[in-house]
Each structure stands twice: as C-alpha cells, then as structure tokens.
C-alpha cells in the first residue's frame, strides 16, 4: 500500500512538473503578464495622450514640465494618487462604498482575458468561442459598480449620477448588440455550412482570406492580411453605431452625463479620493481600450498585418517571435488609433442633454440597427434567389451601407437642430412677448444684454464721467 501511494505521488509530481515546463503553461504566463501589464499601463499612456492631443487641438502646450516634454507627468500623477489621503464619508454605506471600485474594475480585467493580442499571446487552447457574448456580458456589469458608488456615497449628486449611468448604459446596450448581429450575419453568409461565429478570432479569419500564389513577396504581404475584405467596407454604418454605443458605455464625452461636473460636482465619483478614485478612471480607460479592441476585431481585421501569418507559419522560434511582435504592434496601433477618436470626440463635441441622450438611443440607433439587420437579410435572400455570387452580394450590401451612412449623418444633424430649437422654444417665446414700455431714461436691453455702446450717452460711451 505504501509503495502504491508513493508511486502515485511521484506520478502526480511528474505530471505537475511536465505541465509547468510545457509550452501551454509558458503561453499562459506570457499572456497573463502581457494582458495585466497592458491593463495597468494603458491608462497611464492614454491619460498622457489625451492631455497632449487635447492641448494640440485647443492650441496649447499641455503637460511640459515633468520629465522631457512632460512625458513623466502621468507617472507623477500615479505616485500622487498612491500617496494621497483616502477620505471616507462617515455616513456612507461603508461596505458598498468600499466594494464599488473593485466591482467596476473586475469586469475590465476579465474582458481583457479573452482578447487575443497575437497568435501566441492569448489564453492557451485558443480564443473563447463565445468571445463577443462574454465581452458584452462583462461590459454590462460595469453599471453595477457605478450604482454602488452612487448609492454607497450617501450623496444626492452621486446618486443622481449613478442613476443616470444605469439608464444610459442599459439603453445603449441594445443598439450595441444590434450592431454586432450584422457582423455575425456576415460570418454565417460567408461560410459554406451557413453557421456563423461569435468568436473574435473566427470573425478576424473571415476578414482575411488570401489564397497562396507562390509569389514570396505577395504571400508575405497579404497572407492573413486582406484589407479589401474587412467588414468596415461592408458594414460602415454598424461600425459608427457600435463605436457610438461604446462612447456611451464608457461614459465618455459627449455622453458623460453621469460625471457632469457642471451639474453634479463629479457625479458618482463625488465622494471618492486617492486610489479608489483612480480605480474608476483606470476602469474607464480600460473600457476605452476594450471598445477599440473589439472594433478592431469586428471591422478592421484584428491583429492581422503584413508578415504575421507568413512568419508564424515558418515553425521557427525566431521567426515566430518576430511574427507575434509584429501582430502585437499592429493590434496596439489599431487600438490607439481608435482611442485617438475617443479623444477627438471629447475635444470637439459638447455634452448632450439627458433627453437628447435617450432619444438618440431609442429613436435613432435602435431603428437604424434593426433596419440594417432587415436590409442585410433581404439583400442576401434576393441575391441568393438569383444565384448571384457572394462577392456581388457584398458589393451591393456595401453600397447600400455607405449610402445609409451618409443618410444617417444627415439625419443626426437634422435631429440635433430640431431638438435644440425645441429646447430653446420657451426662451424664444418669452423674448417675443410684448413688454411694458420702459422709462425713457432707462438703459435699453436686448435679450438681457446692454445696448451697443454707440447707443449709450456720449459720456458713458467714451468711458469718461
């Protein structure tokens, strides 16, 4: 009996050791370090990029004094937040108040776990087959942390910010999912068995279908990299809808009503300070990168780029390493290019009103997403009934989508003007009401503004008493 137990223990030890030194375990370690390091450092990089880009767009310098060209400013900010006093509200619900930052941050880290950064930097065993569903579920959990922060703070401004965020994130979750359905429909149409995929890796493969020609140069450039078949060319309207919903899901401008500092001090963040406050912003910038990464996979080919498939297929440790570094570089470039659009929008557009926010989700984005699903299915049924090739279906669908995109832009412009005029109507009617005649010597006003200087008495207009 003793010999049997010892033999079993030795066998378990050998299996454990063989598992530790295996390529799968090494892949897990590399993926874990890369993903966790990217999650922690991406926020620091994006904060610096946001300050620099907004400074450039607003004709100012931005951070300049900490480090060369101000590059260490965000590093100093992180050190300041780590050392800053953590003030706690005495009348707050302490358990909810303390747990809220962790509940907000946990889905962000969990979402990064299923994002392949390269052919090797991903969880062992391949990408999660239900990647899109998992990511949508994780993005839906953020609202719980926001509501907990608003409720646990025992502050009316924080509570209003949390409730606004709940209404906003739940509303924009629906058109976001409708935008994803259009992409899944394309994957089902492009397969021979008619079964689509919701795996990020599978969607990326549907956008990169190069047939080997035997020409080394062409195969190196286009093996796994065919930008003319990216879904952005076929579904550009859904890219705009998904990205707009991503802006709302991350509470970024112009959808930053939960943190409206002009109305709510800082919204659900009002009572937070120090590292707890920083965790919310770490989660916000993490959500920015997740939205950009998913957009890259759905519409821009993921981590595909010239040389990635060609080099990783050589079965060489050196060339495989180079191919994975190239894939990581292409993927990060696409992510930060899309994050630049986040910053660009914040620098350009003013904050929406609460009624405009809800009307845009329910009266514009929802019908547009449903119409795209119906149009995609109808065009496929017609082309399939006429036995037309798939490429002709994609061309027709692309033309319809691009026309619809320009129509969508015109629609948004008209709705914005109409809603603004409707909001200004009471003030305009008040100005048009007949007023009692003012005394002759009284200072004439127009819309509450003094009359032009030229109409004032000579002494006042000249500035002399």
pLDDT score of 338? 94
- Determine the length of the chain: 465
Residues 70, 78: contact at Cβ < 8 Å?
A: no
Joined together, the tokens standing for residue 399 give 């033309």
Q: Which of 171, 152, 172, 177 has the alpha carbon at shortest distance from 162? A: 152
238-to-173, 179, 232 alpha-carbon distances in Å? 14, 5, 8
- What is the chain's alpha carbon radius of gyration, rounded to the nearest angstrom? 28
Instruction: Determine contact, residues 371/400, Cβ cutoff 8 Å.
Output: no
pLDDT at 127: 55
338: left (phi over 0), alpha (psi -120 to 50) or beta: alpha
Per-residue pLDDT of the chain (465 residues; tens, 9 = 90+): 545 544 445 555 555 555 556 677 788 888 888 888 888 788 888 989 988 998 888 888 888 888 888 888 888 888 888 888 777 777 778 888 888 888 888 888 888 878 888 888 887 755 566 778 888 888 788 888 888 888 888 888 888 878 888 888 888 989 999 999 999 999 888 887 777 788 888 888 888 877 777 788 888 888 888 888 899 999 999 999 999 998 888 888 788 776 666 666 777 888 888 888 888 888 888 888 999 999 999 999 889 889 888 888 888 888 888 999 999 999 999 999 999 999 999 888 888 877 788 888 999 999 999 999 999 999 999 999 999 999 999 999 999 999 999 999 998 888 888 877 777 777 777 777 766 545 545 545 544 445 454 454 554 444 444
Between the alpha carbon of residue 31 and those of residues 24, 116, 282, 328, 465, the distances in Å are 10, 9, 20, 12, 77
Do residues 132 and 198 touch, judged by C-beta distance below 8 A?
A: yes
């Amino acid at each position: 009996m003793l010999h049997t137990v010892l033999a079993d223990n030795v066998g378990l030890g050998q299996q454990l050791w063989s598992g530790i030194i295996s390529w799968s375990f090494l892949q897990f370690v590399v993926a874990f370090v890369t993903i966790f390091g990217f999650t922690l450092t991406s926020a620091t990089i994006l904060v610096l990029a946001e300050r620099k880009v907004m400074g450039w767009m607003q004709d100012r310098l931005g951070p300049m004094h900490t480090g060369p060209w101000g590059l260490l400013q965000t590093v100093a900010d992180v050190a300041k937040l780590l050392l800053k006093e953590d003030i706690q509200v005495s009348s707050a619900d302490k358990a909810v108040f303390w747990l809220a930052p962790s509940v907000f941050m946990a889905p962000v880290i969990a979402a990064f776990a299923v994002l392949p950064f390269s052919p090797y930097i991903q969880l062992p065993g391949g990408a999660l087959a239900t990647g899109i569903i998992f990511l949508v579920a994780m993005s839906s959990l953020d609202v719980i942390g926001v509501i907990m922060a608003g409720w646990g703070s025992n502050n009316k401004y924080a509570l209003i910010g949390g409730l606004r965020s709940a209404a906003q994130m739940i509303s924009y979750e629906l058109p976001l999912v409708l935008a994803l359905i259009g992409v899944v429909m394309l994957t089902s149409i492009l397969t021979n068995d008619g079964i689509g995929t919701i795996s990020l890796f599978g969607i990326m493969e549907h956008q990169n279908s190069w047939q080997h020609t035997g020409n080394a140069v062409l195969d190196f450039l286009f093996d796994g990299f065919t930008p003319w078949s990216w879904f952005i060319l076929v579904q550009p309207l859904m890219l705009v809808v998904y990205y707009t919903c991503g802006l709302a899901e991350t509470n970024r401008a112009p959808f930053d009503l939960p943190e409206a500092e002009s109305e709510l001090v800082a919204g659900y963040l009002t009572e937070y300070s120090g590292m707890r406050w920083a965790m919310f912003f770490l989660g916000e910038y993490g959500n920015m990168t997740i939205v950009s990464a998913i957009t890259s996979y759905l519409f821009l080919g993921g981590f595909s780029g010239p040389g990635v498939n060609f080099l990783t297929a050589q079965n060489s440790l050196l060339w495989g390493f180079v191919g994975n570094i190239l894939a990581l570089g292409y993927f990060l470039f696409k992510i930060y290019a899309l994050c630049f659009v986040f910053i660009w929008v914040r620098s350009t557009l003013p904050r929406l009103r609460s009624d405009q926010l809800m009307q845009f989700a329910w009266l514009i984005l929802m019908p547009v997403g449903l119409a795209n699903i119906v149009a995609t299915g109808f065009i496929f049924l017609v082309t399939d009934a006429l036995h037309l090739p798939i490429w002709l279906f994609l061309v027709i669908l692309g033309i319809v989508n691009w026309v619809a995109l320009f129509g969508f832009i015109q629609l948004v412009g008209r709705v914005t003007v109409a809603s603004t005029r409707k909001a200004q109507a009471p003030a305009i009617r008040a100005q048009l009401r007949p007023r009692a005649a003012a005394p002759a010597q009284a200072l004439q006003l127009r819309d509450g503004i003094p009359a032009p200087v030229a109409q004032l008495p000579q002494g006042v207009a000249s500035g002399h008493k």
